[in-house]
Amino acid sequence: MSAHTITVAGVAVDTRHWIGGERVASAQTFPDVSPIDGSTIGEISRGTAMEATAAVAAAKAAFPAWAATSRAERARVLHAIADGVEKRIEELAIVETTDNGALLRSHRRGVMPRVAHNFRFFADWLLKLEHEDFETRGHSNHVSWDPAGPCVLITPWNAPLMLASWKVAPALAAGDTVVLKPAEWSPLTASLLADIAAEAGLPAGVLNVVQGYGSEIGDALTSHPDVRRISFTGSVPTAKRIAESAAANLTPLSLELGGKSPLLVFADADLDLAVGLAVEQYDNAGQVCLAGTRLLVEESVAEEFTRRFVEKASALKQGDPRDEATDVGPNIHPRQLEKIDGFVQRAVAAGARAVIGGHRGDGQYYAPTLLTDVAQDSEIVQEEVFGPVLTLQTFADEDEAVRLANGTRFGLAATVATGDPERAERVTARLVAGTVWVNCFFVRDLRAPFGGSRLSGVGREGGTWSFDFYCDVKNTVTAPNGWTNHG
């Protein structure tokens, strides 16, 4: 076994970068620490501008051949990657749980199978991607999707491999080459993806993985003149820095950013369903950008809703995410835990009441928390916490519900619980959000557009929208009867 290989729950993981089809070590490393118990998993190669430049160069060199590869062959390779993921679901699941603390049962049953599905979906969508030809005064118009070039894909730590696959799969399907930069708090499954892609026959340089701190490697990636697309999922402040960096080259951006999503509960809703949806917002220890962290409940049912919510939420088991019985695991990093607790303590000091939780547990665990008596303009209502912290406000009617729901700088998602389909139609039409769920949560079909409004993002991905971003969309207009026969 290489000196650069670590063993995570029996799974070998290479800690070096993957550039141009080869493993590349850096002069320095950074520690990767498990949020489960604070132990150091291993030392990871710490990339600099040198590795970033090398990765972009490898992607640029590999681009012409991959762009010229037939759709059928690209789709075949993506299906082979999906096969590789499916063969290693158990390994990927335990490595990612160790690395970022999310529930092992969720990784086994939902997340890793979804990673494979993402590759299969875009492989299949590629084969049927087309626009019907149309005529303009007898001239024919033909729309095509041309590969754009090397792409930089920057992914977060809360669902590392799944969110990477949402970007890597359509980019590769489009004929682009990729430099993937995983979050430094959860880099391991990106390294395993590089192995899986190579075993699936993806040519060298088509997928590159570079690790390190964004402050040290990020600008070299996002400001590089040879990069033709940048896709980022993460915080608003980081997105602004990326946008500034990309501006010199006018590099197109896709940004999926923070959320402060509302969950509206009307008096005519099935309260058991609504409570279940609300408690579900503690999934992944609240580290979900789409989470409906602002519970907005109609006044007449607020007391009953709160009683049922407290009963159900208090039954959640918090602990080791490797335990099948665990419902809420740890938060990713001590710095994130400090941030979460700071939000809660400032809110309580300002007059909020913690109905449940409101405190840390042992290690990197934060108790699931519900805060009431919060003002609409308060920090806890307006800013993304990214932890297991929900607020509850009440409303008198639809107008007030919509006003409160839309009353932040964000617009990523919204959830509506109601028993009246006409009300659902009225309210959803007025909500500012990229996705609205009615009497359900977190149902995502890759055929649908996905993205945020306001500070929650720029652009849409999913289905043809992904190809619109990762490709240069071309229209070819041909004159009627304009051919000269030289034969």
Annotated catalytic residue, options 96, 289, 298, 461 = 289
pLDDT in tens, the chain (487 residues): 678 999 999 999 999 999 999 999 999 999 999 999 999 999 999 999 999 999 999 999 999 999 999 999 999 999 999 999 999 999 999 999 999 999 999 999 999 999 999 999 999 999 999 999 999 999 999 999 999 999 999 999 999 999 999 999 999 999 999 999 999 999 999 999 999 999 999 999 999 999 999 989 999 999 999 999 999 999 999 999 999 999 999 999 999 999 999 999 999 999 999 999 999 999 999 999 999 999 999 999 999 999 999 999 999 999 999 999 999 999 999 999 999 999 999 999 999 999 999 999 999 999 999 999 999 999 999 999 999 999 999 999 999 999 999 999 999 999 999 999 999 999 999 999 999 999 999 999 999 999 999 999 999 999 999 999 999 999 999 999 767 665 5
pTM: 0.95
- The topology (CATH level 3) of 262-438 is Aldehyde Dehydrogenase; Chain A, domain 2 (3.40.309)
Give the residue among 419, 416, 349, 424 at the shortest CA–CA distance from 380. Answer: 349
CA distances, 26 to each of 4, 15, 52, 82 (Å): 11, 10, 11, 30
Q: Is 304 a catalytic residue?
A: no
Long-range contacts of residues 372-375, Cβ cutoff 8 Å, at least 24 apart: 372/306, 374/347, 375/350, 375/351
Q: Is 151 a catalytic residue?
A: no
pLDDT at 3 (0 to 100): 85
pLDDT at 481 (0 to 100): 79
Is the CA virtual torsion 182, 183, 184, 187 positive or negative? negative
pLDDT at 169 (0 to 100): 98
What is the residue extent of each domain of the chain? 5-257, 262-438
pLDDT at 486 (0 to 100): 56
Annotated catalytic residue, options 256, 298, 384, 461 = 256
pLDDT at 1 (0 to 100): 63
> Which SS3 state, helix, strand or coil, does residue 106 take?
helix
Q: Which residues contact 212 (CB under 8 A, 6 or more apart)?
A: 26, 30, 45, 46, 47, 48, 51, 181, 184
Report DSSP state, residue 109. Answer: I
- The topology (CATH level 3) of 5-257 is Aldehyde Dehydrogenase; Chain A, domain 1 (3.40.605)
Q: Which residues contact 79 (CB under 8 A, 6 or more apart)?
A: 119, 120, 123
Question: Beta-carbon neighbour count of residue 37 at 10 Å?
Answer: 12
Helix (H) or strand (E) holding 27: none
CA distances, 153 to each of 78, 179, 201, 289, 318 (Å): 17, 6, 21, 18, 33
Residue 193, both tokens: 């993806």
CB 107 within 8 A of CB 158: no
